[in-house]
Structure 1
């Protein structure tokens, strides 16, 4: 189940920033339904809304006709009753997950529901207006995914906007999220080549966003937002926090700090300055998760190992050190050179200095060059992948030598 969105807090008093109620300068207070309706009713017409408006204080009051006019063809406007029917009234038996937005349920649409709509499984996301996200994030999803289409972005099929209800309908991703595959104990370990495929797909999605006519900063790149289809093709989902990049002579976008602990770039957390290099940092963290099988933040680990970036950084400079932190579930079935190059790339991505991080097209190119390497660690003597030091290492060596010596000596026999 996707983790709830992290909200850093630095103050207890509520105030207003960018036309929204927030806690301190960082996180949102929850609106009541009446407050939600009032705020939406006061907003300007959707017909004037564009990508650039999502980076300003404006949002929208609209009906389905306005929304369809702005987005254009390609998205279906569903009725709430239809979405209730296909999800069995949002039954818990059809629950796929839950996050800051609300709940996500599986449903099925047939080709008779709308002209041109093929029969398929879908994922229906239901906005909890008293949750951590709200109308503005819902609108951002519709705007971005309604106009941006790419093989590595999850496909938005349609939406529902009735009174206070806000829903989104996506293509169903049968393999779920990367988070589930990496960190659920009962899941089968992802093979090395599959991990590399996922990293490449996610990198291509980010590169596409950053290369748009006006760059799009994803702002919430993490394992739970990387969804996988039946072939483990990675697609980015959840664009509620996406922002338009800087334009003209601006070098960054200044915005409220929102995202997920452990993934957010340090300069963004400290200053609120957001650039495409902030996404590159987050990508580096996910790449480390793929290499190590560890979460970006794990409170169950010893204090020195809680934060993945801080713990892993000293091990990323050589193959000899790297093998100590490789995911033990891989059991040595990974390319030594590929892991070394991926670790080096991750180290560049998590550089404290944004200007030292590579751009996403370069990241894609570097990862693609690792696809056909076959030098498995188990056949190169680079296994086991757990650190052994000092007396423990000497003891283990002596035991192995003793076992080998026993095998070489003839076994004694007894006289009957």
Structure 2
């Protein structure tokens, strides 16, 4: 820990008889007696061994320190910043036991301006990790304590590369009441140095570990990115922090904290004890009864309703699939992994991406060709998950035959629907132990949501209205429509245009009406 004084913009500190004192009461272990660290300077001529000057700060004589630039009557600092830091480190944490010290501080100081007509506009005392460093691209308006890099990076397109320099704080989070920033060593200890036995799973850009935060008495799941893994991995990390940290819903996984450290990026989530839906549908998890499955799809639908329509912006998740749907101790659904999520203004509706992202089988076919992301593309993925939950089969798989042909769940269920025998698609492991009306409803809404034409899909609110009431069911064509998507046109500036054309002899309906 280091203590310091910082002043920014056109503020010159002149202390004719400056008195700065610090009282720290430190207790690292119960057996260690509290100790006091104090210092007292009446001048700064001999202070160099314990005081470090950073930024534009400079010793301007034996009795005063200038923290920002400006000489004589020219007091304009041009937004410069400086620090005067008391540099001897003070231990606040014991690595062997994990104990955190309790401490109090008291400061006393006198400041006499060099020019009494000059009024400063920024000063603060602060505690920082040792050794202290000025923030990257700091600025006067934030007292030089934070960086403006993140704000600048996200002010433009959420597809542009963002700066990931160490020490770049997420200002919106740190200034609010959301997730906290954890020291790297706390997360190392929580996971037993990321031990193999604590590993919960592996994703495209990192692994997830079980951890225990002793100071909070909380079990957590820690997602670990490697900073040098890929640009896309860093982008997902930033997106996940920016989006999910601002969301609050019972059917969303809660982000507790985050960390930049040792060339790694870490996200800390609440631990959802029953793992992912994927484990129970296709792995060695608990067998899900039909009431449990209905509860899961309704929870997922409520999460999407909040994201698409009830929050201040439309949040497009872009990677809805069973492995991203976590189940709590009561098997309630919690949607997680917002690494691909994008914010879209409600009056815009569609955003064109530089390249499609998502998981084959769950990804809206139109997104692959046009690069468009919208609430309707999330609805498509939701429809596929509904069919997967009802049928107990993955959206795509190789058939065990001589041709090794590809099984497509949506096409298979739609064919049975057209024959009037859609219940034949129900998961055989349920052994007919389900309500036929609700099963038919889930399958019909699943097909409705997975309609190839996004204009023929329902909103998530319309889909939830049918699911919660078991009807009236949508009327769908007996044959699965096959629309033709026009790829995006390149403009003279090289940007993708937003127009798309669609035509098909079999695409005969433009809206769905209840029957």
Give TM-score scaled by structure 2 length.
0.59
In structure 2, the residue matched to 1:77 is: 181
| 1:305/1:322 CA distance change after superposition, 3 Å | farther
Q: 2:236 aligns with which of 109, 112, 137?
A: 137
Q: Does residue 1:367 correspond to 2:467, yes or no? A: yes
Q: Secondary structure at the match of 1:219?
A: coil
**Structure 1, residues 121-148: CA drift from partner, whole Å, max 9, x if none?**
1001100345464111101111111111
Write the distance in 2 (CA, Å) between the matches of 1:61 and 1:93: 30
Unaligned runs of 5+ in 2: 1-135, 138-146, 472-515
Q: Residues 82-161 of structure 1 correspond to what in structure 2 (within 5 A)?
A: 82-110=186-214, 113=215, 118-131=216-229, 133-161=232-260
Greater per-residue helix proportion? 1
Q: 2:337 aligns with which of 238, 245, 259?
A: 238
Shift of 1:157: 0.3
In structure 1, the residue matched to 2:487 is: none
In structure 2, the residue matched to 1:310 is: 411
| 1:191/1:126 CA distance change after superposition, 3 Å | same
Write the distance in 1 (CA, Å) between the matches of 2:345 and 2:452: 21
Q: Does residue 1:346 correspond to 2:446, yes or no? A: yes
Shift of 1:74: 2.0
Write the distance in 1 (CA, Å) between the matches of 2:445 and 2:247: 28
Write the distance in 1 (CA, Å) between the matches of 2:241 and 2:285: 32
| 1:247/1:88 CA distance change after superposition, 3 Å | same
Q: Residues 166-315 of structure 1 correspond to what in structure 2 (within 5 A)?
A: 166-184=265-283, 186-211=284-309, 212-245=311-344, 248=347, 251-302=350-401, 303=404, 306-315=407-416
Write the distance in 1 (CA, Å) between the matches of 2:354 and 2:327: 30
**Structure 1, residues 175-194: CA drift from partner, whole Å, max 9, x if none?**
0000000001x333200011
Write the distance in 2 (CA, Å) between the matches of 1:202 and 1:53: 31
Write the distance in 2 (CA, Å) between the matches of 1:299 and 1:232: 30
| 1:74/1:248 CA distance change after superposition, 3 Å | closer
Task: Give the superposed CA RMSD.
Answer: 2.5
CA contact (8 A) 2:173 2:180 kept: no
Shift of 1:65: 6.9
Unaligned runs of 5+ in 1: 1-39, 372-416
- Whichever of the two has the greater Rg, that structure is 2
**Structure 1, residues 191-250: CA drift from partner, whole Å, max 9, x if none?**
001101110111111111111322111100111000010011111111111112256556
Shift of 1:326: 0.8
Write the distance in 1 (CA, Å) between the matches of 2:390 and 2:448: 15
Give aligned pairs, total: 322
CA contact (8 A) 1:255 1:274 kept: no
Greater per-residue strand proportion? 2
Give TM-score scaled by structure 1 length.
0.72
| 1:248/1:82 CA distance change after superposition, 3 Å | same
Q: Secondary structure at the match of 1:306?
A: strand
